[in-house]
Structure 1
C-alpha cells in the first residue's frame, strides 16, 4: 500500500450534506467501478462545505470543497446502516488539500464552493475551474440540541488497490431543513451525469454551521484491482 501522510482534523465547517435519486440511474451506475455495487435506487450523495479560517484545521488552512458520487450497496459504514460511498467528483479550492486527497486516490480537481445565508434562505454554489456547475437552494432554521455523529465510509482506487477509509464526524444540524432546488448548470460538464430526477427527490440530508470531522481514519486495503 502506498505510504500515506498524516491525518487531518477540521472543526466547525459550514456544511450542506444530502442525497437524492438521479435523473439517469444508468449513468450513475456507469461511474461505479467493477467490484463495487451501486445502491438499488442509484442514490447520489453530495457534500458542499466551507472552512472559513486556518485555525479550524490541524494543517490544511482555509478551503472550500464539494464532493459527490454514488452510494454503494454492501459496503456500509461502521454503524451498519449508512452506505459506503464512491467519490466521482471532488472540487477543492486548496492545492494542499487536493494533493492530500489525491494521495488517497480521490479524483481531486480545482474548484470553489460558496455558502450564502440570508435569513432562512441558503444558497450553495460549486464552481469547477471558475465555471458554476451546481447550485443548491435550501431553507434552514437554527441549531438546537440535536447532534449528528458517527463514521462515514468512502472508497477509492490507488496504485491498483481498492481502499476503504472511515471518517468520524460530529455535526450540529439546523431545524427545520429543506432542500428547495438542486440545479446542475452545465450539461457538458461530466458532473451532469449525477443530476437529480424531476421532481426533486431528496432522500436524506442536513445543514450544519458547525460540522467537525477527521480524515482519513481506519484506512484499509480491500482488494487489488487492475
Structure 2
C-alpha cells in the first residue's frame, strides 16, 4: 500500500472536469458535513479521468477515476476564485488508488470510468459493479495553444477531522467544448442526489487530453467553526457557462439527454 503521506504525480491524463446546478438542492446541501458550507446555488462538480499507462504516474500505475462532489463557500483554492470541493463519491478501478485515497479520507470505492472520443463527440461512462452509474456526452474540438494552470482545494474527513489538500494542475483544454447531457442511471445509488436539473445548466469546465496534477504530500486540518445559521433559499450566483443545447433540452429526457 502506498503511504498516504507521500505526494503523487500524474501526467498527461485524459480528464473531463465540469460543474452544474442540481435537480435537488436540499439533497445536495445535506451531503456537506458540519463545518463546511455549500455554495448558495448548490453547485456540483465532477471529474472523469483516464490514465492509460503506469509511466504517467509516480506510483499509482494506470487507473481510471470519477470523483464527484459539492462546491463549497468560503474555502476557495489559492487563487481566491475557484471554490473548494467536498468529495461525496470517489470511484476508481485501481485497488492501489482506492487504498491511497481512502487513507486520506476520500470515500473511495472500486468501479470503472471510460472516455471515448469519436469525431467531435466525447462519451464518458462511470460504472460500479458492471452497472452504469453516470454518463456524460460532450462536443469537443482540438487542443491549441491554451494552457490552464492553477490549484484545486478538496476536503475529506479523516479520523473524525476535516482536512484539506491543495492540488496543483496544468492542462491543455480543447476548443470548442460543450456539455450536451449528464445522465444518472441508478435512483437507488447515493450519487443520484447530485443529478443535474433539467434543462441542464453548466457552470464552467473543460476536456483536456493532456492534464497533469499532483496529490499533495500533506493534508491540513481544517478548524471546525461554530454552527452557521441556516442558508437562505438557493439562488444561482454568476452566469452559467452555457445551457444544454435546445435540441437536447427539448427531448423531455432527464438532464437534457
What TM-score does the superposition give when structure 2 sets the normalisation length?
0.85
5+ unaligned residues in a row in structure 1: which ranges? Answer: none
Alignment correspondent of 1:202: 202
The 2-side partners of 1:135 and 1:174 are apart by 20
**Greater strand percent: which structure?**
1
Alignment correspondent of 2:178: 178
Alignment correspondent of 2:50: 50
Given that residues 22 and 44 in structure 1 are in contact (C-alpha distance below 8 angstroms), is that contact kept between their aligned partners in structure 2?
Answer: yes
Alignment correspondent of 1:78: 78
Alignment correspondent of 1:26: 26
Alignment correspondent of 1:60: 60
Q: CA deviation at 1:161?
A: 1.1
* Larger Cα-atom Rg: 2
Given that residues 166 and 217 in structure 1 are in contact (C-alpha distance below 8 angstroms), is that contact kept between their aligned partners in structure 2?
Answer: no
Q: CA deviation at 1:218?
A: 5.4
SS at match of 1:117: strand
Alignment correspondent of 2:157: 157
The 1-side partners of 2:96 and 2:217 are apart by 18
The 2-side partners of 1:141 and 1:4 are apart by 37
- Count residues with an aligned counterpart: 223
Alignment correspondent of 1:99: 99
Given that residues 169 and 211 in structure 1 are in contact (C-alpha distance below 8 angstroms), is that contact kept between their aligned partners in structure 2?
Answer: yes
The 1-side partners of 2:216 and 2:47 are apart by 16
Alignment correspondent of 2:35: 35
* CA-based RMSD: 1.3
SS at match of 2:104: coil
Structure 1 pair 68–224 and aligned structure 2 pair: CA distance change class (3 A): same
Alignment correspondent of 1:7: 7
For residues 64-121 of structure 1, the C-alpha deviation after alignment (integer angstroms, 9 at most, x for no partner) is 0000110000000000000000000001000000000011100000110000000100
Q: CA deviation at 1:4?
A: 3.7
Q: CA deviation at 1:6?
A: 1.1
Given that residues 136 and 182 in structure 2 are in contact (C-alpha distance below 8 angstroms), is that contact kept between their aligned partners in structure 1?
Answer: yes
Given that residues 167 and 217 in structure 1 are in contact (C-alpha distance below 8 angstroms), is that contact kept between their aligned partners in structure 2?
Answer: no
Alignment correspondent of 2:251: none
The 2-side partners of 1:144 and 1:134 are apart by 29
1:144 aligns with 2:144: yes
Structure 1 pair 76–224 and aligned structure 2 pair: CA distance change class (3 A): closer
What TM-score does the superposition give when structure 1 sets the normalisation length?
0.96
For residues 206-226 of structure 1, the C-alpha deviation after alignment (integer angstroms, 9 at most, x for no partner) is 00000000002552111369x
